[in-house]
Chain A
Amino acid sequence: MRLANRGMVDRNAPVTFTFDGVGHSGFEGDTLASALLANGVRLVGRSFKYHRPRGILTAGSEEPNALVTLGSGARQDPNVRATQQELYEGLAAQSQNRWPSLDWDLLALNDLAAPFFGAGFYYKTFMWPKAFWEKLYEPAIRRAAGLGALSGLNNADTYERAFAFCDLLVIGSGPAGLMAALGAARAGADVILAEEDFRMGGRLLAETHEVDGKPGHLWAAGLLDELASMDNVRLMTRTTVTGAYDQGTYGALERVSHHVPRSRAPLECFWRIVAKRAILAAGALERPVAFRNNDRPGIMTASAVRAYANRWGVSPGKAVSVFTNNDDGYRTARDLVAAGVHVAALIDSRHDGPDLPGVHVIKGAQVCDAAGRKGLESITIRTHRGEEKLLTDCLAMSGGWNPTLHLTCHMNGRPAWREDIQGFAPVPGMIPGLQAVGACNGSFSTAACLREGAEAAEDALEALGFKPAALELPQAEDDPFRIAPLWSVEGKGRAWLDFQNDVTVKDVKQAAVENFRSVEHMKRYTTQGMATDQGKNSNVAALAVLADVTGRAIPETGTTTFRPPFVPVSIAAMGAGAQGKGFAPQRFTTSHKASIERGAPMIEAGLWYRPSYFPAPGESNWRQACDREVKMVRETVGICDVSTLGKIDIQGPDAAAFLDFVYTNTFSTLKVGRTRYGLMLREDGFVMDDGTCARLGETHFLMTTTTAAAGEVMRHLEFVHQCLRPELDVVFTSVTEQWAQFAVAGPKSRDLLDALLDKPLNGPDWPFMACGPVTVMGVKARLFRISFSGEHAYELAVPARYGDALFRELLARAGALGGGPYGMEALNVLRIEKGFITHSEIHGRTTAYDVGLGKMVSEKKDCIGKTMSERDGLIDPMRERLVGLKPVGAVKQVIAGAHLFEVDDAPVRENDKGYVTSVCYSPTLGHMLALAFLKNGPERIGERVKMVDHVRKIEALCEVVHPIAFDPEGGRMRD
Chain B
Amino acid sequence: MTELLAKTACDGLLSVTAGPFTLSEEPVAPLTSLMPYKGRDKALSAALEAAHGVKLPGVNRSTSKAGISVLWFGRGQFLLVGAGPDGSLAEHAAVVDQSDAWARVRLEGAGADQVLARLLPVDLRAASFKRGHTLRSPLGHMMASVTRTGVNAFSIAVFRSMAATLVHDLKTAMEGVAARG
Contact = CB atoms under 8 A, between A and B. Distances in A.
B162 A163 contact: no
Most buried by A among B8, B98, B161, B173: B161
A960 B121 CA distance: 55
Contact of A737 (B7, B101, B140, B164): B101
Interface string A373-416: 00000000000000000000000000000000000000000000
Interface in B158-181: 158-166, 168-169, 172-173, 175-176, 179-181
Contacts of B93: 731
B96 to A, nearest CB: 5
Interface string A135-161: 000000000000000000000001011
Contacts of A164: 117
A802 interface: yes
B38 interface: yes
Contacts of B173: 160
B141 interface: yes
A587 B8 contact: no
Nearest to A256: B180
A809 B1 contact: yes
B4 interface: yes
Given A163-B122, A777-B4, A589 B179 contact: no
B58 interface: no
Interface string A286-315: 000000000000000000000000000000
Interface residues of A, number: 58
A778 B3 contact: yes
Chain B CB count within 10 A is highest, among A264, A266, A582, A800, for A800
Contacts of A799: 97, 99-100
Interface in A563-583: 577, 581-583
A265 B37 contact: no
A733 B121 contact: no
A729 B4 contact: no
A587 B6 CA distance: 19
B131 interface: no
Contacts of A732: 35, 94
B160 A737 contact: yes
A256 B181 CA distance: 12
Interface stretch (A12-20, A221-229, A515-523, A645-653): A645-653
Interface residues of B, number: 56
A733 B75 CA distance: 11
Given A586-B165, A587-B159, A805-B6, A160 B176 contact: yes
Interface string B133-173: 00000001110000000000000001111111110110011
Contact of A651 (B8, B9, B94, B172): B94
B117 A733 contact: no
Nearest to B35: A731
B44 to A, nearest CB: 12
A932 to B, nearest CB: 34
Given A585-B141, A586-B165, A735 B1 contact: no
Interface in B21-41: 28, 33, 35-38
A802 B6 contact: yes
B5 interface: yes
A736 B162 CA distance: 12
A867 interface: no
Interface in A582-602: 582-590
Nearest to A265: B179
B76 interface: yes
Given A160-B173, A738-B98, 17 more contacts: A162-B117, A165-B125, A269-B176, A700-B94, A731-B93, A732-B35, A735-B101, A736-B159, A737-B100, A737-B102, A738-B97, A777-B2, A800-B9, A801-B99, A801-B100, A802-B5, A804-B7
Top 5 nearest A-B pairs by Cβ distance? A651-B94, A731-B35, A800-B100, A737-B101, A587-B161
Interface of B: 1-9, 28, 33, 35-38, 76-77, 93-94, 96-102, 114, 117-118, 120-123, 125, 127, 140-142, 158-166, 168-169, 172-173, 175-176, 179-181
22 contacts: A163-B118, A163-B120, A165-B123, A190-B125, A269-B176, A583-B141, A587-B159, A652-B37, A700-B94, A732-B94, A733-B33, A736-B101, A736-B159, A737-B102, A776-B4, A777-B1, A777-B3, A799-B97, A800-B9, A801-B7, A801-B8, A801-B100
